[in-house]
């Protein structure tokens, strides 16, 4: 009994137990509430379930879900996503072009409340659902029926157009912005759409992630340095420091208003971290695609493993071909001697492909630099 008592006491020790957080899985995403003041059964969590995104439950939509850890803060992440005006500059030649920049007219259409706000422009409707969800919904084309005012009659043209009516093409940009620590955040994203959904079935997810990560890389270093510049300038009120004269800044200003009025101006770290940003690591670490994404992504990690195996296979093939040619020179064997030139060419091609593949895997799965100064 004495031994059993000691085992029970060990299991009651805080050092031998893990914290149990209120959590749930919904639409392929794991949600949890970090407040343990009410114990593992959190009344607030039960009363405020995570948002349901209709696109992720609609069988007409196809989508992929992915994530990446980022070397800048939650506030900077949401501001960046709410400011599409930066795309043509920060993602030049990847997702936009500096020469294509134009004024953007964004309007907040609801009151800014603890529950967030909505906005719209000519092309989309935006919804911020605190504290982490930001959704942009686009409708591309489609025909709407036009009735004669004051009647229930339809014109002949209307009946004909109804037969030709096409379902509007819809695409959404869903972002979940998660604070991790000062200067660090995690982004979960999905871009569901109701057209060309077959592409999600035939395209490996790592191919989609390659493009997504290229976009994130192209402004990560800028945003990382921007945060440190703002920290040096001091913690003055954001609205006094920022100059936001255009309607393109409406959502950013709305988010900052919500953050100041309802969330204390910044994430509550509950004393776990210092308020200051950590020292800036080398650029290679800031853009560390492998640890920020690949090791957390089944598709990308499997693709990397396969590419590495192929790279080694090409190297072995090159060595084997050279070995066969060398052996035929020592011990003449007419059929092999006749193929010596093709075998040597094959060895050279295998070596070149192996080198190219090594370069491709490094840029795709480890580190892809982006220098704004040299991208013309």
Q: How far apart are the C-alpha atoms of 345 and 35, rounded to whole Å?
A: 65
Of the residues 231, 261, 296, which one is the last residue of a structural domain? 296
Q: How far apart are the C-alpha atoms of 357 and 363, rounded to whole Å?
A: 10
Q: What would the pLDDT profile of 342-363 be if each residue is shown by its tens digit?
A: 888 899 999 999 999 999 999 9
Q: Which domain holds residue 326?
A: 301-376
Helix axes 205-233, 74-81, angle to 10 degrees: 110
Q: Are residues 62 and 31 in the same domain?
A: no
Q: Are residues 39 and 176 in the same domain?
A: no
Q: Are residues 239 and 306 in the same domain?
A: no
Q: Are residues 19 and 56 in the same domain?
A: no
Q: Are residues 260 and 320 in the same domain?
A: no
Of the residues 257, 278, 296, which one is the last residue of a structural domain? 296
According to the model, what pLDDT value does residue 39 have? 62
* Positive or negative torsion for Cα 75, 77, 82, 84: positive
Of the residues 254, 276, 296, which one is the last residue of a structural domain? 296
Q: Are residues 276 and 339 in the same domain?
A: no
Q: Are residues 83 and 228 in the same domain?
A: yes
**Which stretches of 182-229 are assigned E, i.e. beta strand?**
184-190
Q: How far apart are the C-alpha atoms of 162 and 156, rounded to whole Å?
A: 10
List the beta bridge partners of residue 30.
25
How many structural domains are present in the chain?
Answer: 3
Residue 62: CATH number of its domain: 3.90.380.10
Confidence of residue 148 (pLDDT cuts 50, 70, 90): very low
Q: Are residues 1 and 40 in the same domain?
A: yes
Q: Are residues 10 and 65 in the same domain?
A: no
According to the model, what pLDDT value does residue 268 have? 85
Terminal CA-CA length for the chain: 77
| pTM (two decimals) | 0.84
Are 173 and 136 a contacting pair, CB within 8 Å? yes
Q: Are residues 59 and 166 in the same domain?
A: yes
What are the structure tokens assigned to 332, written together?
């003449």
- Span of 55-69, 108-122, 181-195, 316-330 with lowest mean pLDDT: 316-330
């Amino acid at each position: 009994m004495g031994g059993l008592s000691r085992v029970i006491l060990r299991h009651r020790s805080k050092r031998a137990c893990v914290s149990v957080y209120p959590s749930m899985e919904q639409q392929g995403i794991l949600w949890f509430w970090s407040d343990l003041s009410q114990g593992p059964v959190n009344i607030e969590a039960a009363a405020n379930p995570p948002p349901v995104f209709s696109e992720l439950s609609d069988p007409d939509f196809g989508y992929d879900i992915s994530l990446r850890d980022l070397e800048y803060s939650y506030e900077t992440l949401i501001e960046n996503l709410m400011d599409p005006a930066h795309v043509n500059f920060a993602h030049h030649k990847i997702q936009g072009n500096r020469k294509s920049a134009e004024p953007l007219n964004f309007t907040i259409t609801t009151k800014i409340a603890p529950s967030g706000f909505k906005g719209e422009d000519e092309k989309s409707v935006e919804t911020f659902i605190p504290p982490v969800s930001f959704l942009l919904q686009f409708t591309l084309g489609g025909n709407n029926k036009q009735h004669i005012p004051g009647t229930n009659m339809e014109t002949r043209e209307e009946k004909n157009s109804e037969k030709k009516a096409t379902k509007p093409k819809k695409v959404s940009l869903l972002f979940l912005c998660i604070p991790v620590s000062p200067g660090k955040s995690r982004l979960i994203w999905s871009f569901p759409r109701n057209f060309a959904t077959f592409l999600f079935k035939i395209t490996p997810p790592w191919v989609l992630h390659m493009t997504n990560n290229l976009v994130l890389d192209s402004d990560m270093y800028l945003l990382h340095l921007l945060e440190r510049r703002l920290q040096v300038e001091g913690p003055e009120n954001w609205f006094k420091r920022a100059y936001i004269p255009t309607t393109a800044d409406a959502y950013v200003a709305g988010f900052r208003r919500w953050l100041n009025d309802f969330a204390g101006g910044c994430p509550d770290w509950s004393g776990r971290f210092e308020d200051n940003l950590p020292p800036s690591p080398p650029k290679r670490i800031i853009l560390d695609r492998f640890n920020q994404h690949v090791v957390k992504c089944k598709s990308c990690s499997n693709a990397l493993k396969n590419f590495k195996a192929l790279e080694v296979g090409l190297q072995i093939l090159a060595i084997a071909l050279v070995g066969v040619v060398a052996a035929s020179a020592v011990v003449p064997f007419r059929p092999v001697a006749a193929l010596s030139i093709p075998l040597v060419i094959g060895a050279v091609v295998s070596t070149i492909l192996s080198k190219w593949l090594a370069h491709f895997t490094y840029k795709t799965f480890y580190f892809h630099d982006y220098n704004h100064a040299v991208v013309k």
